[in-house]
Structures are given as C-alpha cells and as structure tokens.
Structure 1
C-alpha cells in the first residue's frame, strides 16, 4: 500500500461554485442524474434483447456485442478531447447539447433498426457515445463544483448512481418494449427521461458552467497525463468497468441459454446487478467521507477483494436464487469502485484541470467497457461461458493488486 500523495498542486477547493440553497443543489444533482439515467438506459438496452437482435439481423454474438461496445469505444476516443474542452468552455451548455444529440442518435438508430441496416445502427450508437461521455464528464464536473469538499464524494456518488439506475431500467424494460413495439424502439424509449432531467438541471446550474481564473495551459493538461497516480486509479476504473460490462452484456444470455430462462426473465433477473449500484455508488461516497474520514483506498481495495471469488464461481452455481444473490453482492462490490473513482481521480490533480482528470478516468474506464462485451462475445463463441467468466475472474485478481497500491489524495 503506498503512502499518501504529497503533490503540492492538489487543490480541494470548489473553484467558482456559488452559494445555493439545499433545494436548488439537490434539484441540480437530480436533474443531472436523470439526464445520465436516460443515456445509460439507451446505452445498455440492446444487451437485454441480444437474441432478438441476432435473429433479426442475422449476426453473431461478437457482432451483437458491438451494439453495446460501440458507445463505449466512441467514449474512449472522445472523452479526453471533451474533458479538455470542458476545462476551457461551458459544461452547462454541453449538457444541453448532449440531450439534443441523444434525440438525434435515438431516432437514427430506430429508423436504421427497422430497415435492418446493422452498420447504420452502429453509426447511430457512435453518435450516442459522444452524448454519453459529454454528460458524464460535465455532470461530474458541475456536481463537484456545486458542493463542499466534505460532501463531494457523496454528491458525486449519487450522480454516478444514475448509471446503474439506467442500466437496470434498460435491462428490465428492454424486452417489454421490444415485445410491444419491436426491438428498434429501445433506441427511442428513454429520451423523455433525459429531457425531464434537463428541465430540472438548467435553471439550477447557473453560474457553474465555467472554471474561474485563466484558461489552463497545455502544460497543465500534460501534467494530468504524466501523473502515475492518475494512471493507477484509471487502471482500477478499466478493470471495474470491464467486469461491470461483461456481466451486464453476457450474464443475461448465460441465464437464458445455459439456465433455460426466457429472454424477459433473464433480463429482469440480471437487472439486479446494475440496480444495486444505486445503493453501492451512493454508499461508496458516504463510506469514504464518513467511515474512513475521507480515505479512498480502502473502498477500492475492498471492492475487488469481495468481487473476485464471486466472479470466479458464477458459472458453477445452478440455483437461481443463489445466482441472484451473487449478482447482488457482485454488483454492489464492483460498483463501489465505479462510484468513487471519479471523485478520487480529480483529487489527485489541480482543480483547474479536474475535468480533464475526470475525462481521462472516463476514457480509460470505458476502454474496459468497450472491450468487455466484444471480447466476452468472442470468448463465448469460441470457448463458452465458463471460460469467459474464468477470464473475468483473472481481471478481478489484478484489481485486488492495484487496489492495494492505490494512493491517497493529499489533504
């Protein structure tokens, strides 16, 4: 375990955050979270209807993995440029533009799916990936500015809980929407949630769009990418998102193809895995801020320690109630890291380039999210579900090692 970081340029201030009432503050957090929830549901919904998409388009499991993985791949490429832009521009405006982009991507995907045009659907998902990463980076940046230091991890944890809420919503309702309106309708179904979030977010976020002071220099941006502690926390995000998306993408097909459940039933059961993140991501900040007096390392280390044996043993369990319990515990453990890592990484750098650090964390983490559905599909195709879950367990072991080495931010 490393000693606490002593970097002199770490700042824990809130920048230009104006005073605002608790009611306005939580309206802001809820509004930003609803925008992110709509995008997360749109993002994962294809995984809930994978067998239907494969049958309709005549594609392999590996190609089906692209329907989820493409958004993450786009986010990996776009995240750092967007983060640098957010440190130099207006994050509040970026949230509004992203919601409009979601409407474009959703309509495009729906029309392409109805035509059976697989590659046009993939292109629409790439556009959605840009909207997703803009909302994620900008939301974390604005929520972090809006609250005091001693509540920051808690507030950001609440915002990041929008991810599992959206994933659970997409997993649980995707098959129902597909059965009623056809599977392409999943690309339109969640736009209204994002629009409602924007209505709450816009009036309560005035004054939080820009960083105070001079625009950060290129040297300051470069310092983020040279910070080895930033890379270590990024590695934890990569592993955490890899495990999270692997189970989200292939846990449902495992339950339907190996355990004999219907697509709707497997989607409903699997929804507990992301859904428990509402508790996990919120409590990660509370545990760190209150129980561990602001320490971050114990949370990320414990996250992987708990998850590792459960991932290894998943395919050896034959009882549905036991599998659901394992999904709950594993989902809770993995998402402790996902909830805390974005607060964690911005505390390792100067506040002036905090959005860039968050964007780096997003990019590296989502690289794992992009690769996991695709590589997982390839392994399932070639060697089966048992081998795929075994390899996922190996990733969890690596996470235990990185969690042990994780630094503490300077105080």
Structure 2
C-alpha cells in the first residue's frame, strides 16, 4: 500500500509541484511516470528472480532500497535529481507489489485464487487513495519533501506484518530455463492480455493523475477537496477488485469479466467533463473507479493461469512490463493532451484506448 501511495502522491499536489519547480503539466506528469518506468524496465529480470529465490528475502532488500531512496529524496533540490530518486523507488516496487500477487496464487487453491488475488490487489487502490487524500494534508503538516517519506514508513509496517506471518521461504521450487522464458515472452495470450491491461491502466492512471487538477482548475475546488473527490476512483477498488475476482470465480470466466468492466466504464468516463453538477461528476468517478477495477484485479490471476507451471513470476513480469506501460505513459501523455488541446479531447482519446483494450481481450483464446 505504501509504494502505491508514494507513486501517485505528486498527482494530488500538481499545482504545488509546478510552482516549486517552475514546470508545465506534461513535465509534472513525469513525477508519476518515472517510478513506473523503473518498475517496467526491470520487471522481467525481477520475475526471473521471484521464480528462483526466496521471495521474503527479495522483499526485504527491496524495502531497504525504497526506504533509502525516499531518504535521499528529502535532501535533493533539483527536479531532475528528485525524479532520479523516484525512478529508483520504482525498481524496488517490482518486489513490493508484483511479488504479492504471485505469493497469493501459490497459497490458495485454484477455485479461490481469483477472489484471494483480487483482495490482495485491492491494497493498490487503497494506497492510491491514501496518496490522493493524504498528501495535500501531509504537505501542510510536514512539508512537501517529507510527505513522500511517510509512505516508506507505511511500507515498513506492512513488511513487518508480512514477515511475521510467513515464517517459511517462498519460491516456485523450480529453475526456469531460458527457453521457457522465451515461450512466456512470445505467448500470444499473455501478450494480448497484457495489452488489455495496459489499456485499462491507461484509463485508471489518467483519472488518478489529472482529476485533482481538473477539480482545482475547472471546478474551482480547494486542492484538499479536489484530492478527496479524486480519491473516489482508487478507493472503489477496495470493493471492485474483490468483486471482479468473485465474479470470475463464480462464472468460471476471466475474459468476459474484463470485457464487461471496460465496456460499462467507457460511457461514464466520457461523460466526466460534461457532468452538470459536482455531485454528477463525483458519481461518474465513483462508477468508473468501481467497475473498471473489476478487471484490474482479475488480470493478476488470469496471467498466471495462462502461464506454464512454475513460471508464474516470469508471466507476471511480462504482464508488468507490458501492462504497466499504460500507467507509465498515461500521466505524461494525458498532460500533453490537456495542454495542447483540451480536457474533452483527452477523455475522448482515452475512450478509444479503452475500446482497444476490449478488442485485445476478445482475441484471447480460452484458458485451461
């Protein structure tokens, strides 16, 4: 939860970020994109390590790296150097979040993996909601730089609880050969599912990155209130992600839960800028946040079902490298679309991204 709060935290204070560093919206979007870049670039080597070594030990060293990186972020003064610390934190996130989904699937029986995995992935929107809601308030109390370090403390508490409840080593118990890795990388179903995830994450991170700014600039809300309303998007994942997992277990299909979630989301997504009142605006965010995340939790269990036995970590890594690329480019591209064109143009463009996600999902053949 702490790492996700850290990732999204700058989005809730973009007006402060642009004032402090003298940058535009597209450049401010890099504050969210850069740590995701660090995570995406090393997903596949990280997945290889998760399949071969004790995941608890990997998690420990990732946490150490994350804490040290946030401490360095307290003392740097330039925007470029600050972005470098966030990039390093993103590398650590490979083990702080992706690994958890793999551990869950090795702990629960197949009939319950969908629900169990999506309950775990609900920690991500909880973290994003914490970052959206809490960062403006933390900035007022402890200052801009220190507010980000608070989330390292949250991650440390989470690791302590995890380690105390998991006394035995966790790994796949098999050596993954290079030929197997190549087959995972070229598996058409895994690639298509990862593309679908990239589209869903693009929609999700556009809203999480820019709705606080929309609230301030267009709706003339105070920054604290704008962040609180934008937090409706991630916080609904606490219910939406387990709901999607339960539905996919109950009906025995992952694919159509994903398709249905994106299809229901798009009309509400497109209606955001035409909402006549603040209440309707908030309801649109609530609906998108709830239904879209039906799909986002299911991805994590579906990709491992499509993978060969013993390659769950590698399959998750491929999913992360492709799927999280949507999160990577969305904040910066969204900022550019808003600056160069308009809010409406940006939302229309991202609606077409959602349609592409539906198409990719429908091309996936049925899994065993």
Query: Which of 295, 307, 310 lines up with 1:352 in the alignment?
Result: 310
- Is 1:141 aligned with 2:110? no
**Is the CA contact (8 Å cut-off) linking 1:236 and 1:337 kept in structure 2?**
no
Unaligned stretches of 5+ in structure 2? none
Specify the SS of the correspondent of 2:19.
helix
- Work out whether residues 304 and 403 of structure 1, in 8 Å CA contact, stay in contact via their aligned partners in 2: no
Deviation of residue 325 (structure 1)? 0.8
How far has the Cα of 1:142 moved from its partner? Answer: 1.2
1:102 paired to 2:66: yes
Q: 3-state SS of the aligned residue for 1:206?
A: coil
- The answer to whether the 8 Å contact 1:274/1:331 transfers is yes
User: Residue in 2 aligned with 1:64?
Assistant: 28
SS at match of 1:111: coil
Distance of 1:157 and 1:349 partners within structure 2: 18
C-alpha distance in 2 between matches for 1:318 and 1:259: 11
1:235 aligned residue: 195
Shift of 1:56: 0.9
Deviations 1:343-375 (A, max 9, x none): 001101112111100111111111110100011
CA deviations on 1:384-403 (whole Å, 9 max, x unpaired) are: 21111111111112122223
- 1:129 matched to 2:90? The reply is yes
Quick one: distance in 1 between partners of 2:173 and 2:50? 13
* C-alpha contact (below 8 Å) 1:95/1:139 kept by paired residues: no
Q: Is the 8 A contact 2:196 2:358 kept in 1?
A: no
Corresponding position of 2:158: 197
User: What is the count of residue pairs matched by the alignment?
Assistant: 368
Which stretch shows the higher mean deviation, 199-208 or 237-246? 199-208
TM superposition score normalised by structure 1: 0.87
Which sits farther off after the overlay, 306-315 or 337-346? 306-315
In the alignment, structure 1 segments of 5+ residues that lack a partner are: 1-36
RMSD (CA atoms): 1.2
2:113 is the counterpart of 1:152? yes
Is this contact kept in 2: 1:296–1:408, CA < 8 A? no
Residue 140 of structure 2 corresponds to which residue in structure 1? 179
Q: Which residue of 1 aligns with 2:48?
A: 84
Q: For residue 255 of structure 1, what is the aligned residue in structure 2?
A: 215
TM-score by length of 2: 0.97
